[in-house]
Amino acid sequence: MPRPVTKRIYLDAAAATPLWPTTRRALGRVATLWGNPGSPHAFGRQMRSIFDAALGASARLLNVRPDELVITAGATESANLAILGVVQTYHAAHGRWPHLITTQLDHPAVVAAAQAAGATVTYLPVDLRGRVSLDALRDALTPETGLVSIIAASNELGTIQPLRAIASLLARHGTATGHRPLFHTDAAQLAAWQRFTAAQLGADLITLSAAKLGGPVSAGLLFVRRGIKLAPVLHGGGQQAGRRPGTEDVAAAVGLSSALAETWHRLPLLVPRIRRERDRLRAAITSTFPTAVFHGDPDGLPSFLVVSVPGLDAQAAAAALDAAGIAVSTGAACTSSSDVFAGQALRAIGQAEAVGHTLRITLGHHTTRREIDGTCQVFPRVLRQVLDQSTRSRAILRVGQQLARRYAR
């Protein structure tokens, strides 16, 4: 049995990340205060001031207006608000449901919301690296297309999509309403590793998550370009221009703005360091398992290492690695535990045979060289042990089947 690492190593940063120290301190200060931002007294005014300052800080980073941002409880709510809000607004204005386009790799928050919206949905195919074809998008557009939602960077593969080219294509497409289709992107993963403005992405609606940035898991953001009408998913007091009613979550706004600022400040040094550590781990795996297959785009997010090993029981491997002190996943935390590595993603890139044999390893801002040193030593040994156990189990099963057939005769 491989000796466990002396300190647990967390390599599932695409699911959630530890708080930045600066963000932890900012949240600690907010935790000592109280009051409803909508109240007119001093307590309320103090909370309103903090909320507005945090929203303004995020707006400056994205180069947008504060009134174009909506604070939510996470990326799932942001994506749902974008999809359902646009669809319901379209239906109210035109008396019919719009046509929606998304991809086979998009987050369940987008896919499920599109399915629940009642609209016709087209799912774009992707290539072997997980990239969307512009020709396929062009062919899928119809006069009734009201919304296109394409994830900026895959939460399963780390593949980055050509958002500016997509936005340019949509800008030239006419519809029955006389307006081009709106464009939404889930940039939760991208924002952890690439700085951008809303204009640079070219999207009308952008989803962010603090959980991927070293912020609190309960904080999300939705950019809604000025002029876009968005029907609310929730109904209540009309806060945040009626798009997301309910008492404003001051801590969420502070946590997200702090994490976004800290992440983007550190990216110039963080990205090359994490890419080097990821590549070292990849080399260690390859040296032990020459038949290992790595999925996604090498030029995608620097933190992703998605690997399948023929014959490997991915769930057993993840459990064995956890016992050895290393946390990895078999796919996105948002997918069902019975859907190993969200088999849909592997099938979408033509790797159906890898379903059940694939691990998603994702580094984060917290990952150190020493942790990768430990992982390079332990990881291959654990996988070899799991493979050997699987081989013995299959051999025993074959012998049992042979005996059963013999005595059946």
Q: Could you state, in order of their start, the residue ranges of all structural domains in the chain?
A: 9-17+267-404, 21-262
Contacts of 25 (CB under 8 A, 6+ apart): none
For residues 225-241, one letter each, b for 16 or more C-beta atoms within 10 angstroms of the residue's C-beta and e for the rest, the string is: beebebbbbeeeeebbe
- What's domain 9-17+267-404's architecture? Alpha-Beta Complex (3.90)
Single-letter amino acid, residue 368: T
Predicted confidence (pLDDT) per residue in 20-35, tens digit:
999 999 999 999 999 9
Q: Which residue has the higher pLDDT, 144 or 340?
A: 144
Cβ atoms within 10 A of the Cβ of 89, count?
Answer: 17
- What's domain 21-262's architecture? 3-Layer(aba) Sandwich (3.40)
pLDDT (0 to 100) of residue 6: 64
pLDDT (0 to 100) of residue 397: 46
pLDDT beyond 50 at 371? yes
Q: Is there a contact between 296 and 158 (Cβ–Cβ < 8 Å)?
A: yes
* Of 21-30, 275-284, 395-404, the least confident: 395-404
pLDDT (0 to 100) of residue 340: 43
Average pLDDT (110-134) is 90
Strands (E) across 68-119 are located at 69-72, 99-103
Predicted confidence (pLDDT) per residue in 68-86, tens digit:
999 999 999 999 999 999 9
pLDDT beyond 90 at 134? yes
Catalytic annotation on 376? Answer: no
CA-closest candidate to residue 303, choices 157, 409, 167, 177:
157
pLDDT beyond 50 at 337? no
| Domain 9-17+267-404 identical in fold to domain 21-262 | no
Predicted confidence (pLDDT) per residue in 40-60, tens digit:
999 999 999 999 999 999 999
Q: Cα separations (Å) of 314 from 98, 347, 360?
A: 40, 16, 10
How many whole angstroms separate alpha carbon 397 and alpha carbon 392? 9
Predicted confidence (pLDDT) per residue in 225-246, tens digit:
999 999 998 888 889 988 999 9
Q: Which residue has the higher pLDDT, 304 or 345?
A: 304
How many whole angstroms separate alpha carbon 380 and alpha carbon 321? 10
For residue 170, the 8-state DSSP code is H
Single-letter amino acid, residue 322: D
Q: Is there a contact between 366 and 18 (Cβ–Cβ < 8 Å)?
A: yes
Q: Is there a contact between 341 and 349 (Cβ–Cβ < 8 Å)?
A: no
pLDDT (0 to 100) of residue 230: 94
φ/ψ (deg, to 5) at 265: -65, -35
What rounded mean pLDDT belongs to the chain?
A: 91
Predicted confidence (pLDDT) per residue in 142-157, tens digit:
999 999 999 999 999 9
Looking from the CA of 393 toward its CB, the CA atoms found within 13 Å total 10
How many whole angstroms separate alpha carbon 61 and alpha carbon 363? 24
How many whole angstroms separate alpha carbon 319 and alpha carbon 276? 26
* Of 53-67, 189-203, 245-259, 385-399, the least confident: 385-399
How many whole angstroms separate alpha carbon 260 and alpha carbon 216? 11
CA-closest candidate to residue 44, choices 35, 57, 32:
35
Tell me the pTM.
0.91
Predicted confidence (pLDDT) per residue in 258-273, tens digit:
999 999 999 999 999 9
Catalytic residue among 294, 334, 366, 385: 334
pLDDT (0 to 100) of residue 108: 86
Q: Is there a contact between 250 and 50 (Cβ–Cβ < 8 Å)?
A: yes
If phi > 0 it is left, if psi is from -120 to 50 it is alpha, else beta; for residue 214 that is left
Q: How far apart are the first and last CA of the chain?
A: 41
pLDDT (0 to 100) of residue 236: 87
